[in-house]
Structure 1
């Protein structure tokens, strides 16, 4: 079932969103957020700027720009943190707003070799550590 804009986590930009993520910046057609749960150091969400639910609803130009944003974030995370692999996931069963999880994976790190858990609630950082991760990503963009 599609999430109406009036209750969409990303569109409402409310305390619930801010308890889960930290906005890093705006991209071409997206917003970039650092996921506060950092079992995968540098994990981000690239969130389409408008309340679009399905990837196939985008025009060719919008889709290409969104994927360009996703690739830009992947490159920045690779440069900033040097992971062994980056996983990408577009899930939206309960939060119907187009977004892409960008999940760096590290050899011998949490969940390497498997599908990442959405929110394992294993690693949170201090405010200073979040700021450092955000700054590394911004510099790599």
Structure 2
């Protein structure tokens, strides 16, 4: 399969598809952090590597460690804010050639516990105010400037 060209990458183009799916929280060391709008898993985030078309195994040790530090920071923020029973991680990218990691809190009595995460089940949407409050919580937890 051919890699997704940059011109078709929602993360690189920062296009309407990205805006429909996620809200940018801020920049981490080598990544951008996004809140998924679909919140069947309350607190679900996406950590998106800064460069396009890179596979995980192609990262240098320094790049990999920095990326995983970003992922761990996102997970720690989820754990602090939401106290989930488990956090799942997913780096799929079958159809989008841009390294990213889904960070998905799971709750024992919650949606999809004990199963593989659905990418976009389209079951739970929040109000604009609720999204804004969540973004601010993450910004505060991760020491991003709150706007």
| Moved segments of 4+, more than 2 Å | none
1:79 equivalent in alignment to 2:94: no
> Is the CA contact 2:48–2:99 (under 8 Å) kept in the aligned structure 1?
yes
Find the counterpart in structure 2 of residue 52 from structure 1: 53
Rounded to whole Å, the distance in 2 between the matches of 1:13 and 1:51 is 13
Find the counterpart in structure 1 of residue 38 from structure 2: 37
Q: Please, what is the CA RMSD of the aligned residues?
A: 0.8
Rounded to whole Å, the distance in 2 between the matches of 1:136 and 1:74 is 14
* Structure 2, gaps ≥5 residues long: 143-147
TM alignment of 1:1-141, pairs within 5 A: 1=1, 2-141=3-142
> Is the CA contact 1:53–1:96 (under 8 Å) kept in the aligned structure 2?
yes
- Normalised by the length of structure 1, the TM-score is 0.97
Q: Post-superposition shift, 1:136? A: 1.5
Rounded to whole Å, the distance in 1 between the matches of 2:18 and 2:120 is 14
